[in-house]
Structure 1
Amino acid sequence: MMTQWHLLRGDILIGELSEYGCDQPFFLARFTPGPGWESVRALCEASAALSGPDPDGSRTTAVLKPLQDLELRLVPVDGRQPSLQVLKNCMLRIDGSEARLRY
């Protein structure tokens, strides 16, 4: 059974993820925005747009550090798994209605 997650910033629902498949090492999920989505949308879109070489990591750090500072959490809807701190316990990339999750 695929996991469903709530993406939270504090108590604010950013969105919901529903896993539907796997493309190792990532789980694939559908993303449905929640009430708090607009407050983090620009940072998530910047993260999704990262590509290409970044030899010293400075470009990646400039994009991911503000996202990490939000302390987003993924909380499983069924409670059978522990919650995950985004960019600490897992990697999450949201691109429109699709998400890729690695934990």
Structure 2
Amino acid sequence: MKNFDEIQIPSVRGIQLLLEPIVVKLQNLEIELQKLPKKAQSSKYYRNNDLKQLFGLSNNTIIKYRENGTLPFTRLGDVYLYEVDEINKILKLNEVKL
């Protein structure tokens, strides 16, 4: 028979003693991160194809919604951009609760 070294399982207190310094360091890092200036979150945008794929809208419907003010947009040349947060607001406002 082969001799196997005994495996010792550490006690709960032993594990706590190992983890305490890590927890303290993580808490200190969190405090330091909170002190850093907040970066302005860049807005995310949908394009026409995104609206068609995500919501099943046709080109004509997207144009109609832009023209009648239902769909707020930003235009850069020939590219139309729709802010994700604005689309989410529209969806929330039109939510049907039964």
Task: Judging by fraction of residues, say which structure has more helix.
Answer: 2
Normalising to structure 1: TM-score of the pair? 0.22
Q: Max radius of gyration: which structure?
A: 2
Normalising to structure 2: TM-score of the pair? 0.23
